[in-house]
Amino acid sequence: MGNPKGFLNVKRESCKYRPVSERAKDYSHVYVERSDELSREQASRCMDCGTPFCNWGCPLGNYIPEWNDLVYADQFDRAADLLNATNNLPEITGRVCPAPCEYACVLGINDDPVTIRENELAIIENAFKNGLIEPNPPKKRTGKKVAIIGSGPAGLSCAAELNRKGHQVTVYERDEKIGGLMRYGIPEFKLEKHIIDRRIKIWEKEGIKFIAGKNIDKLPKGFDAVCLTGGSRVPRDLKIPGRELEGVHFAMEYLTKLISAKNKKVVVIGGGDTGADCVGTANRQGAKCVIQIEVLPKPPEQRPENQPWPKYPMLLKTTSSHDEGCERHWSISTKQFIGKNGSLNKLLCFNEETKKEFEIEADLTILAIGFLHPEHNGLLDNIGLEYDQRGNVKTDTSYMTSKKGVFCAGDMRRGQSLIVWAIYEGRQAAVAIDKYLM
């Protein structure tokens, strides 16, 4: 490594947030972009650790020590080449990935881990800024045509890889714009949508065809292979008395339809990232107050003994949205939605620790408790595909479904998961489809 003592002399310094008083009033990105010099300094903390477990922690197998070393040497262009070799959407993962690589960082055993995700973002944004990310269409075409149905990270990664191989790729999306849940499920203040559009324009120039606003309910004709990447979109419901009251919505309903929380008392049920996104959105809409409740106990702040390094630990996560104003409670189950004249006005809850019931006033409740499986009605049932025990699309080891020539990748196949796993699945499915076609 360029600076073998970097980790001894330099402390971890994460990106700075914009002031709460400023960022909570708009939908611009919550971070302040850091300088290349600071990125170089932070990259110097990457140790010559012999066995880099960060590679193991990252599903994509990113060349993390190598591009950290190149950043420290101020060779951002070469670092970008390595980054793009394993990741089709580093500008997205650099912003929203939970960074399992950092929890597997060897330095993290007895110190703060390297700022891997932020280094990744610095590399790709430097590359865009300096005109290094340009369209690179394949020099030869194979004559084979592939349809990708779904334009989330799995679908886009699969499309990009197949296009590189020379196949003609068409991506279908039922929503009005390309991007799937990256566009419609992640708020602008975490992922500004021009970031997605910037990458789509490059892929269009490379020859990928995108068709948005088209709901596919049967296999499109004229293709040599089809890959299904529609995600896991059936939300987990909370079927308790009062569920039918006006004012109870699923998180995706709230985030995509922009139901207003202005002047309302908001309760978010679910303590994960989507719940935090709902908290941040409600604050920006001018909610009176925001309370987030979670049925599970409060996670520890330090890595517990039963989740040793390099495993990804379940720790207490406080996001920028929580810092903007939110009351949080754990070990709380919801027993009933209570309303008046058909509209919600309170929740009957139960504290699993004290074993006591209590009420929370609420005009708007958002259910952010995950997803069950992909939507079966429509395309999947029409094709007659087999499902696994959890209701996901069943495939063999080559990502092929029970119908020959029809493949599946991402959350639709593996269930709700991380964006890096979706990208990995899309890339692996592309390898399998290319092998099948050729």
Q: Is the same domain home to 401 and 291?
A: no
Q: How many domains does the chain have?
A: 3
Q: Is the same domain home to 123 and 171?
A: no
Q: Is the same domain home to 159 and 244?
A: no
Residue 2 confidence (pLDDT) above 80: no
Q: Is the same domain home to 248 and 361?
A: yes
Residue 137 lies in a domain: no
Interstrand relation of 265-269 and 248-250 (parallel, antiparallel or unpaired)? unpaired
Q: How confident is residue 406, by pLDDT bands cut at 50, 70 and 90?
A: very high
Q: Is the same domain home to 170 and 52?
A: no
Provide the mean pLDDT of the chain: 96
Query: Among the three residues 350, 369, 388, which one is the final residue of a domain in this structure?
Result: 369
Q: What is the pLDDT of residues 14-52, one digit of tens each?
A: 999 999 999 999 999 999 989 999 999 999 999 889 899
Q: Is the same domain home to 204 and 352?
A: no
Bridge-partner residues for 400, per DSSP? 407
Bridge-partner residues for 131, per DSSP? none
Q: Which of 4-8, 72-76, 117-121, 404-408 has the lowest mean pLDDT?
A: 4-8
Q: What is the pLDDT of residues 275-303, one digit of tens each?
A: 999 999 999 999 999 999 999 999 999 99
310 preceded by a cis bond (ω within 30 of 0):
yes
Q: What is the pLDDT of residues 305-320, one digit of tens each?
A: 999 999 999 999 999 9
Q: Is the same domain home to 351 and 267?
A: yes
Q: What is the pLDDT of residues 351-373, one digit of tens each?
A: 999 999 999 999 999 999 999 99
Q: What is the CATH number of the domain that holds 11?
A: 1.10.1060.10
Query: Among the three residues 369, 404, 427, which one is the final residue of a domain in this structure?
Result: 369
The overall pTM is greater than 0.75? yes
Query: Among the three residues 72, 94, 129, which one is the final residue of a domain in this structure?
Result: 129
Q: Is the same domain home to 65 and 102?
A: yes
219: domain range?
145-234+372-437
Q: Is the same domain home to 217 and 267?
A: no
What was the pLDDT predicted at 146? 98
Residue 16 lies in a domain: yes
Residue 1 confidence (pLDDT) above 90: no
Residue 138 lies in a domain: no
Determine the residue type at 392.
N
The radius of gyration computed from the CA coordinates of the chain, to the nearest angstrom, equals: 23
Q: Is the same domain home to 194 and 181?
A: yes
Q: What is the CATH number of the domain that holds 175?
A: 3.50.50.60
Section 382-400 average pLDDT = 98
Residue 380 lies in a domain: yes
What was the pLDDT predicted at 50? 86
The token pair that represents 49 in the structure block = 């650790």
Residue 1 lies in a domain: no
The percent of residues in the chain predicted with pLDDT above 90, rounded, is 97
Question: 398: helix, coil or strand?
Answer: coil
**For residues 97 and 355, what is the distance between their CA atoms, to the nearest angstrom?**
36
Residue 134 lies in a domain: no
Residue 139 lies in a domain: no
Q: Is the same domain home to 94 and 177?
A: no
The percent of residues in the chain predicted with pLDDT above 70, rounded, is 100
Bridge-partner residues for 407, per DSSP? 227, 400
Q: Is the same domain home to 92 and 151?
A: no
* 3-state helix, strand and coil shares in percent for the chain, rounded to the nearest 5: 35, 20, 45
Residue 207 lies in a domain: yes
